[in-house]
Structure 1
Amino acid sequence: MFEGQPKGLYALALANTGERFGYYTMLAIFTLYLQAKFGFSEQTTGAFYSSFLMMAYLTPLFGGMAADKWGYGKMVTIGIFIMFFGYVLMAVPFAANMLGIIAMSIALFFIACGTGLFKGNLQVMVGNLYENARYSGKRDGGFSIFYMAINIGALFAPTAATLVTNWIMTKGGFTYNSAIPQLAHQYLDSPTGMTAGATSQLHTLMIGQGINSYDPSVIASFCHRYIDSLSLSYNLGFSIACFSLILSFAIYYLFRNSFKNADYNSKTAAAAGVQEEELSKEETHQRVVALFLVFAVVIFFWMSFHQNGLTLTFFARDYTQQTVSGSERFAFDVTNLVSAILMVYGAFGIFQNRTVRGKLISAALIVLPLVYIIYNMGTTDSKISVLPQIFQQFNPSFVVALTPVSLAIFGYMASKKNEPSAPRKIAYGMLVAAIAYCLMTFASIGLPSPDALKAGASFSRVSPNWLISTYLVLTFGELLLSPMGISFVSKVAPPKLKGTMMGLWFVATAVGNMMVQITGWLWGSLPLWSVWIVLIVVCLLSFFVMMALMKRLERVC
């Protein structure tokens, strides 16, 4: 898996890991922050969330154009500094008024612009590493490793956000409860307008926080203090991104000699000693058309996949059990997940290592993490609380664990001359995403609609295993689509348009992210299962369209 890869890959991957850790820490709590601090509805929250994601993935188009003109390395550096300023602004605890909303919007704009300069251009440099004939056959594997590194950063992000939340809430004399922010805003907005069921629920939750009073002034004070404490915890969670960017910047500059040969564009390729492929107008046209067809289809995958920060987080907060016990505790400790990942890599190492020493090291990677898991499960509390953002650790943990599995499977298929092409893998990814939301549909049968829930409807929260399983299946789809798509773009894009085409890959992601809010609009009076049916339908339609275009797409591979 790691053999024969260019050294620059690891430096670029680690630089990206640091940046992604901060980004996903912010994203894990962003929608929760919007509703806790400002009291936004699901629809308004969805509009903010999807608009930010759209901007974060639209700006790489302009970042790519700038890099095609002035160089990739320069744009990556400028992007880091712009992002840093945005995260600093997000960490400032402004008041929950129009000034606070404007300050947050400005911060999001800077983060999106910095991401646009950093993300796509870093990936183009990864692709440039494989223009050397020595590494040309390692491209797909290299992008899978790069993608895995992204998810290592994302893996620890929800835990970091959760630790900060619990720390600040404890200092304020509170414990986190997902139902309190919404009820607190309802009370502060209109105490007499609350239903009797909602008022009773708020009083019960206050007792759980050590306050037993029906005095309106006491209730109002509690609501203000709870919201302020929770909002501050989210602001400090955003500050984590500032420190992760400093680490990313340090890695990028300390090890830039290892990838300096990849920092060239079409204008500087000759000076860098790189002979770029010469294409006719017809070949250029065919490649660009094929790329645009792929871009159009993957829009709907990203619409479905990026529900993790919106409707899947709402489902985790409002419908999923808030405490776990027994064996279910395993999945909610990130050190257990890391141990399990090490065991997977150890198992692969036993089969791949040719020396006795290598096999013994691999065996140790199985035994020692297993011992730790047994010890950890035996010493932790028998019942633990689960915060909604923690569910976002499962997708990256599955990516890191399953990347060697997918590489081994496709490597075996390649040796048998029957490995699917990149476009075919992308199509299968759409089909797998549809299957993931079938699980959510089954999980939602019999649950009240979000509007009925706000009115005080009673129900039994569902097992967290439904969400965990959904994230597992979505990860299979992601591994088929995302790293293969990036690799496809870097391979097929005409040399003079590399930055622009990589930017357009992100534009497709941006459009899909903007469409995420569609499910936010549906999150109301409709039956809960109908939200997931919409996602199933768009994924299936995309799969069939992709298969219909397959011959044309495979022609340029």
Structure 2
Amino acid sequence: MLKGHPKGLFVLALANMGERFGYYTMLAIFVLFIQAKFGFEKDACSLIFSSFLALVYFLPLFGGILADRFLGYGKTIILGVVVMFLGYFLLAIPTGVNLMAKVMMFGALGLIAIGTGCFKGNLQALVGNLYDDPKYNSKRDMAFSIFYMCINIGAFFAPSAAGAVYNHFLSKAGLTYEAKIPALAHQFANGTITPEGLQSFKQLAEAQTAGASANLSAFGTNYIDKLSEGYNYGFAVACISLIISMFIFLAFRKYYKSADITAREQEKADKATGQTSHVEELSPAETKQRIVALCLVFAVVIFFWMAFHQNGLTLTWFARDYTNSAVTGLGRIGFRLPAMVMMIVAFYGIFGFTQAKKMGAKIASTVAFVIGAAGAYAYYTGMPEVINITPEIFQQFNPFFIVILTPVAVGLFAMLNSKGKEPSAPRKIGMGMFIAALAFIFMAVGSIGLPTPDAIAATGGVSDVLVSPNMLIGTYFMLTIAELFLSPMGLSFVSRVAPPKYKGLMQGGWLAATAVGNYCVAIIGHLWGIQLWMMWGVLVVLCVLSGTFIFSIMKKLEAVAK
């Protein structure tokens, strides 16, 4: 899987992994933060979250233009890292809840989005350029799968890092996380709390601090302040990860330097030297055909990202309000990061053994499996009988499954390719849409009989009827399979089909389509309050319709991908 690739791939993948670790650390707790600190209701939260995600994925369109026409890829990427750092730094500063604090928060989000716009698409364009070399061209799909896996290694550690930081600072104040308290504290402060909610608030306050019920106003303010500070320090993790990312990108530039050239820069270099580089020439008709095909794919993936990025909004609310926070039995192993790392080591030991051709490699793989399995078992046996979990932790399962399933997917597609049966990239995208529909069918069925969010809002918003954590884990598993069929294949498809003069722009176009999908995330957030199975059903219908559409234009897409 890793053999035969240019070293630049691994430099770029590691640089991206550092940046994504910081981004997903912030994203894991962002909605929880703005609800706890500012008391934003679901509609405001949905709009802020979806607008931010939309900007993060839309601005690479302009980042691509900036790189293609003016600065080049490398300089634009460096600019992006600097701007992102400033944004995360502002977000990490504890503030009050006045107007200036909100302005500061929105300013930080703007800087993060602008920086990501300069960074994300152009780094992907560099990866694509590495595989324009005929020596590596056949490995393009696999390269983007490896690149995508590294993104998710960063994302895998992010929720645990965020949770560890804010829980640490909360515990230093003598407090523990309780999902109901922020909502009840805000209701108490603005005078909308019900008698039932007031009784619950008193009980929760006493459980945190003896005698706190005597002054609920002071307790509520203190709890929100300490929890919000913990979230702020969690955001600071992103600053550190960006420094590491910048170091990797600059220190090992020689490995991708040859790919850091735009079509415009290549033309200037050719004129200066009198040489002619081999650049694929397309007629205006061919260019138009490719751009149209890409735009059709962009239209489809809008609905995938609308569904997928519910992980930071409604799926996080579901984890907070409808999922059992006490885990017992074998399921505990999935909520301890060291144990999960050991499971990954064990899995790669098994996978490596099946792929190894030499005895030395088989022995090394066996040792890795034994170490991983023994380590996971040791962590499991040392766990308490009951462990308590916080809502953001579920976001680690998607990247965990990506890391586990990527080599399986790569191996499967390689086997099908050797038999001449591998689906085309557009066909894989269509399959991914149907698999995403299955994930939300699972959520819809599991949500039947649960009270609506509106029905439980008066008592802190947490249901008395709670589902097993396995429900969300199963959903993330199916969404991960859908993502593996769709996202890395989409990146590869854009890299392969984009006209040479518009590579940065088309990578930005892919991300802009993602942005539209992310903005549409708010639509489902606004529906939070109706019957849950109906809300998930909207996503099922949209995914099925999108998958059907892409199969209806499959011949046109496959024609330009050849």
* TM-score, normalised with respect to structure 1: 0.98
Distance 1:380 1:467 in 2: 22
Q: SS in structure 2 opposite 1:324? A: strand
How does 1:115-126 map onto structure 2 within 5 Å? 115-126=116-127
Q: Deviations over 1:274-319 (max 9, x none)?
A: 5221111111111011000000111000000000000000000000
For structure 1, the residue ranges without an aligned partner over 5 or more in a row are: none
How far does residue 361 in structure 1 lie from its aligned partner after superposition? 0.7
Distance 2:210 2:163 in 1: 24
Distance 1:470 1:385 in 2: 21
Q: 2:428, 2:486 within 8 Å by CA — same for their partners in 1? A: yes
Q: Deviations over 1:522-555 (max 9, x none)?
A: 012x111111001101000100111101111111
Distance 1:248 1:522 in 2: 38
How far does residue 74 in structure 1 lie from its aligned partner after superposition? 0.7
Match of 1:130 in 2: 131
Q: SS in structure 2 opposite 1:462? A: coil
Match of 1:370 in 2: 373
- Equivalent pairs, count: 552
AA partner of residue 522 (structure 2): Q
Match of 2:497 in 1: 492
Q: SS in structure 1 opposite 2:407? A: helix
Match of 1:277 in 2: 280
How does 1:216-235 map onto structure 2 within 5 Å? 218-235=215-232
AA partner of residue 560 (structure 2): V
How does 1:244-259 map onto structure 2 within 5 Å? 244-259=241-256
Larger mean Cα displacement after TM superposition, 65-74 or 467-476: 65-74
How far does residue 328 in structure 1 lie from its aligned partner after superposition? 1.2
Distance 1:212 1:520 in 2: 37
Distance 1:296 1:211 in 2: 56
Q: Deviations over 1:183-227 (max 9, x none)?
A: 11111111xx32121111111211221334543xx1111100000
Q: Deviations over 1:322-378 (max 9, x none)?
A: 111121111001122222222221112112222111111111111111101111111
Q: SS in structure 2 opposite 1:264? A: coil
Distance 1:194 1:292 in 2: 49
Distance 1:409 1:209 in 2: 51
Q: SS in structure 1 opposite 2:324? A: coil
Larger mean Cα displacement after TM superposition, 77-86 or 349-358: 349-358
Distance 1:274 1:338 in 2: 46
Cα RMSD of the aligned pairs, angstroms, is 1.1
Match of 2:176 in 1: 175
Match of 2:273 in 1: none
Q: Kindly indicate whether residue 537 of structure 2 is the aligned counterpart of residue 533 of structure 1.
A: yes
Distance 1:275 1:24 in 2: 40
Match of 1:551 in 2: 555
Q: Kindly indicate whether residue 235 of structure 2 is the aligned counterpart of residue 238 of structure 1.
A: yes
**Cα pair distance change 1:274/1:203, threshold 3 Å:** farther
AA partner of residue 187 (structure 2): Q
Distance 2:212 2:349 in 1: 56
Aligned equivalent of 1:466, options 467, 471, 484 = 471
* TM-score, normalised with respect to structure 2: 0.97
Q: SS in structure 1 opposite 2:175? A: coil
Q: 1:120, 1:499 within 8 Å by CA — same for their partners in 2? A: yes
How far does residue 460 in structure 1 lie from its aligned partner after superposition? 2.0
Q: Kindly indicate whether residue 145 of structure 2 is the aligned counterpart of residue 148 of structure 1.
A: no
Q: Kindly indicate whether residue 326 of structure 2 is the aligned counterpart of residue 347 of structure 1.
A: no
Q: SS in structure 1 opposite 2:387? A: strand
Q: 2:91, 2:232 within 8 Å by CA — same for their partners in 1? A: yes
Q: Kindly indicate whether residue 535 of structure 2 is the aligned counterpart of residue 504 of structure 1.
A: no
AA partner of residue 250 (structure 2): Y
Equivalent pairs: percent with the same residue?
51
How far does residue 458 in structure 1 lie from its aligned partner after superposition? 5.8
Q: SS in structure 2 opposite 1:455? A: helix
Q: Deviations over 1:127-158 (max 9, x none)?
A: 00001010010000000000000000000000
**Cα pair distance change 1:5/1:213, threshold 3 Å:** closer
How does 1:301-450 map onto structure 2 within 5 Å? 301-450=304-453
Distance 1:38 1:194 in 2: 17
Q: Kindly indicate whether residue 7 of structure 2 is the aligned counterpart of residue 2 of structure 1.
A: no
Q: Deviations over 1:485-530 (max 9, x none)?
A: 0000010000000000110101100000000000111012x11111
Q: SS in structure 1 opposite 2:490? A: helix
